Structures are given as structure tokens and as C-alpha cells.
Amino acid sequence: MSEQLLIKGARLYGEGDPVDVLVEGGVIAEIGTPSGPDGAEVVEAGGQVLLPGFVDLHTHLREPGREDAETIESGSAAAALGGYTAVFAMANTDPVADNAVVVEHVWRRGREAGLVDVHPVGAVTAGLKGEKLAELGAMAKSAAAVRVFSDDGHCVADPLLMRRALEYSTALGVVIAQHAEEPRLTVGAQAHEGEHAARLGYAGWPASAEESIVARDCLLASYAGARLHVCHVSTAGTADILRWAKNRHSSGSISAEVTPHHLLLTDERLAGYDPVNKVNPPLRTTSDAARLRTALAEGVIDCVATDHAPHAPQDKDCEWASAKPGMLGLQTALSVVTETMVRTGLLDWRGVARVMSERPAEIAGLPDHGRPLLAGEPANLVLVDPDAEWTVHGAELASLAANTPYEGMRLPGVVTLTVLRGRVTAREGKTC
Ligand SMILES: NC(=O)N[C@@H](CC(=O)O)C(=O)O
Ligand SMILES: [Zn+2]
Ligand SMILES: [Zn+2]
């Protein structure tokens, strides 16, 4: 914790001349041209981009229950290598994280792994069954201090239950993150309802299944005076609803995330029949992806969240209809954002800091992440080589699972250093 680290010649937010950053006692001690004390670890940044460490509001770490697909330790390694200093672990584990015992377990295992701050997300309903509220208060007051609740993987579809959850959340000062999917509209769904799914004979997830729940929840949150976070926005229509809701909502209490895969990939991929492309919500159309990019650039969508969803080989290397939905995301997120948002000119690096670090930290109420790069601030940092490229190979990623949709793709933007409270957690592609 009290080690000294000197990052030499980094460009803060990719702006201005390179400066040296001295990290001491877990905080940024000095920015400018500090002479590193003898014995300080030195990183030659060579003009690379220094940003606040990334925060992922949406990660599936699979522990407890599916340690064959991912563990808190392996997922933490993937997170550190991806430039993350905090992740939110979704509640759809086995047992479900719907009580204080499970969330405290996840929180403790994250501390033991020590590579990234692991914050458990608590379930909204008992057993993710959508029938009665889980013990939100007990989870909020537990040692894990849960601040984000979600039934992700399932929608809190019952409007009365969602209303109660939102009302209850205001008293606890927490946020409800909704997986927006009207289940009556997605029975048997396999892919985005559109031309490609029709050709392959797949039952579709219509855009309206997502949009009808987002519209409903924006109204419920508004009437309850509650905060709502919309998970993995995937359609242009949802962006329209969010813009409308944010304009009429007084206190900025609606937020939303988009995944890297919905920014880059489309349902044209269905033609390959490869279940690696099966995900919920499904890959949508080219015009949806284009609209998600502009919505993110404009702030209609607040942030990028990975929805990192590792699956064991037997759950993916099978017939499309039996495959589980979800794809890896932690180690490729920065590169996909570089490709879709930076190289296109939609975001500069300050914008990347906003959507991958500052806004997610604000939404979850993390006081020591997503902070400005200033002396005295916590040293949660990521160094990015914006010009380097790499080729993605699932087998080489730190996750136990290998279900990356970017297999063999060459992507720009390489994370070269991740620092958690002054301690190097990843450097040059290896965890420390
Ligand atoms: N995104 C997915 O397709 N799958 C997620 C669940 C979810 O995020 O809805 C999973 O847990 O595997
Ligand atoms: Zn989901
Ligand atoms: Zn998810």
C-alpha cells in the first residue's frame, strides 16, 4: 500500500505534454516533474494515456456456483488486465446473492483476491424469482454495503413489485438496475427479431420487449422519486425513451449503460450460427449500434458496462438454441471502446474517462474511484497505449471461460498498467 511508484512521461487524459506522476501511500502524491525517491518502482509511460481506473457496473463472476466458468479470482485478474479497479458482481449466482451471507462472501473473496474492488450486486427479489422482495436492507447494511440491486438475467417484470423496489430503494439510498425485458414478449427468443433471425427460423427478441419495460420503469422511478439504472441498452428506441425521460426527470436520477458488444457487433453475425454471438439482449441492427454510439457520446447513455458473462465450453459449444447467452468482456472493453468511440472521433480520452470510470463510479456511489487525476486523490489508475494493437485469443484471456466474440480480431488500445490504491495490479499483460 505504501510503496512508491513513479509513472514517467504520461499524458493525463491524453492531453498536453507528458508529465511524471508520483504515487505514494495509495494516493497521487505529486504531478509534474517529481524526482522519484530511491527505490520507487518506475514505469516509463512514453507518452501513453493516463486515466482513472475503470469501473464496471455489470460483471458476472459466477462464484458461488459456476466456478468452472469463472471465479472471483480469475474474473478479478481479467478485470485488472482490462484496466478496471472496481467491478460490480451480478447476483445471478448459485446460491443467489439475495441475502447478507452471500454478498459478504463475495465481498470477502474479492478482498482476498486483491486485484480489483469487487462490489456484490444484491438481488431485487428472493431467488431472482420475481415474486417477493429480497432482504435489500440487510444487504445494504451488511459488511458488503450493497449499493446496487439487480435481478439481472431476469427482469423484475411485475410492475407492482418494481414499484415497491424503487420506493424501498429511496429509503436505503441505493439504485435498482433493471434487465429490461418483458418476458411475455420473449418466450423462446434466440436472437434479435428481424431479417436475420427470420431467415434462420429463430424466434426473436423484439426491440419492444426492452423498450416497453424501459418506458414503464422510467415512469415508475419518476413517480417514486427513485433512481433507476437501465442495464445493457441495446436499441435505438431505448435511447429515444431515455432522452425523453432524462429531459422530463428533474434530478438526473435515471442512468443507463451500453455494452462494448452492442457498440461494435450486429445481428449480421447470426449467419455464422456460432453461439458465441448469442447474448441477451441480442446483437441488434447496424442502425441500432450507430445510435448507441451517438447516445453514449451525447450522455443519453451514461456509461459502458461489460456484461462480462463467462460460460463453460459445454454451455457454448453446442447447438444455438441450447447455448447460454452471454460473452466475455472485461479484457476487451477498452479496445472496443477505442475502436468504436475514439477512432471514430465520437469521444476523446477525457470522454473515455467519463464513460468508463467517472459516471459508473458516481452511479454506484463509489467515493474513491472515477476521481480526477490530481495530487491527493486515490491512486486508482490505468495507463493505455492508444496506438498499440493486439489480436484477441480467448484461450489467452485470464478468464476460465474463452467465449469471446472477438476471437482473432485485431483491436486498438492496449492496457499497459493498472494501479489499485497505489499498488500495481497489472503490468504489460500480466497481473501483479
Ligand atoms: N447477458 C447475457 O446474455 N447473459 C447474462 C445475463 C444477463 O446479463 O442478462 C449471464 O448471466 O450469462
Ligand atoms: Zn441482463
Ligand atoms: Zn448481465
Domain CATH for 202? 3.20.20.140
How does strand 423-427 pair with strand 430-431? antiparallel
Do the annotations mark residue 92 as ligand-binding?
yes
For ligand 1, atom 9: residue with the closest CA: 153
CA dist., res. 330 & res. 219, Å (int): 32
Q: What is the pLDDT of residue 74?
A: 98
Q: Work out how many domains the chain is built from and give that number.
A: 1
What is the atom index within ligand 1 of the atom nearest the CA of 278?
3
Query: Exposed, middle or buried, 377 (CB in 10 Å: 0-12/13-18/19+)?
Result: middle
**Strand 228-230 vs strand 204-205: parallel, antiparallel, or unpaired?**
unpaired
Q: Which of 45-49, 68-72, 137-141, 269-273 is predicted least confidently? A: 269-273
Region 104-114 average pLDDT: 98
Q: Taking CB atoms and a 6 Å cutoff, what residues make up the pocket around ligand 1?
A: 60, 92, 152-153, 179, 279-280, 307, 309, 324-326
Reported as a pLDDT band with limits 50, 70 and 90, residue 33 is confident
Query: Looking at the domain assignment, is residue 377 inside a domain?
Result: no
What's the pTM? 0.98
Q: Ligand 3 centre and the CA of 170: distance in Å?
A: 23
Query: Which residue segment(s) compose the domain that 214 sits in?
Result: 53-364
- Distance in angstroms (rounded) separating the CA atoms of residues 276 and 278: 6
Higher-scoring residue by pLDDT: 39, 288 = 288
Q: Compute the distance between CA of residue 227 and CA of residue 173 in angstroms, rounded to an integer.
A: 9
- Ligand in nearest proximity to the CA of 89: 3
Instruction: Name which of 175, 89, 102, 86 is nearest 138 in CA terms.
Output: 102
Give the pLDDT confidence score for residue 250 in this predicted structure.
Answer: 61
Our mutation pick for probing the ligand 1 site, out of 68, 93, 262, 307, counting the most ligand atoms within 8 A of Cβ, is 307
**Tens digits of per-residue pLDDT, 55-85?**
999 999 999 999 999 999 999 999 999 999 9
pLDDT for the residue numbered 34: 74
Give the DSSP per-residue string, 307-372: -B----HHHHSS-GGGSPP-B--TTTHHHHHIIIIITTTS--HHHHHIIIIIHHHHHHT-TTSS--
Contact 166, 221 (CB under 8 A): yes
Q: What angle do CA 221, 223, 226 make, to 5 degrees?
A: 40
C-alpha 90/C-alpha 167 separation (Å) is 21
Whether 427 maps to a domain, the answer reads no
Q: How far is the CA of 280 from the centre of ligand 2 (A)?
A: 6
Strands (DSSP E) found in 60-207: 84-89, 117-120, 148-149, 175-178, 191-192, 204-205
Select from 63, 92, 128, 234 the residue to mutate for testing ligand 1; criterion: most ligand atoms less than 8 Å from CB: 92
Q: Quickly state the pLDDT bin for 307 (edges 50, 70, 90).
A: very high
Residue 4 CA to ligand 1 center (angstroms) comes to: 40
In a domain, 31, yes or no: no
Quick one: which H or E segment has residue 424?
strand 423-427
Distance 1 CA to ligand 2 centre (A): 35
Task: Check whether 229 is labelled as a binding-site residue.
Answer: no
Q: Is 387 part of any domain?
A: no
166-202: pLDDT as tens digits: 999 999 999 999 999 999 999 999 999 999 999 999 9
Residue that wins the pLDDT comparison between 271 and 102: 102
Is position 192 annotated in a ligand binding site? no
Measured in Å, residue 28 CA sits from the centre of ligand 1 at: 37
Query: Do 430 and 10 touch, CB atoms closer than 8 A?
Result: no
Catalytic option among 151, 302, 307, 385: 307
Is 369 annotated as belonging to a binding site?
Answer: no
Give catalytic status of residue 158 as yes or no: no
Is there a domain that residue 383 lies in?
no
Tell me the backbone φ, ψ of residue 298, rounded to 5 degrees. Answer: -85, -10
Average pLDDT over residues 391-420: 98
Percent of the chain as helix, strand, coil, to the nearest 5 = 35, 25, 40
Atom of ligand 1 nearest to the CA of 92: 11
State how far the Cα of 345 lies from the Cα of 145, in Å rounded to an integer: 38
For ligand 2, the distance from its centroid to the CA atom of residue 352, given in whole angstroms, is 23
Q: Is 62 annotated among the ligand-binding residues?
A: yes
Confidence band (pLDDT; 50, 70, 90) for 38?
confident
Let me know if residue 315 belongs to a domain.
Answer: yes
User: Of the bound ligands, which one is closest to the alpha carbon of residue 58?
Assistant: 3
Extract the C-alpha cell encoding 414: 492496449
Q: Whose CA is nearest to atom 8 of ligand 1?
A: 153
Q: Residues 210-249: pLDDT tens digits?
A: 999 999 999 999 999 999 999 999 999 999 999 999 998 6
Neighbours of 13 (CB within 10 A): 19
- Residue 43 one-letter amino acid: V
ipTM of the complex in this document: 0.99
Residues of the chain above pLDDT 90, percent: 96
Residue 409 placed within a domain: no
- Does residue 59 form part of some domain? yes
- Tell me the three cell numbers of residue 193: 427479431
Mean pLDDT of the chain: 96
Q: Which of 56, 59, 60, 90 to mutate to test the pocket of ligand 1 (most atoms within 8 A of CB)?
A: 60
Average pLDDT value for residue range 149-158? 98
pLDDT of residue 1: 43
The predicted structure's pLDDT at residue 251: 54
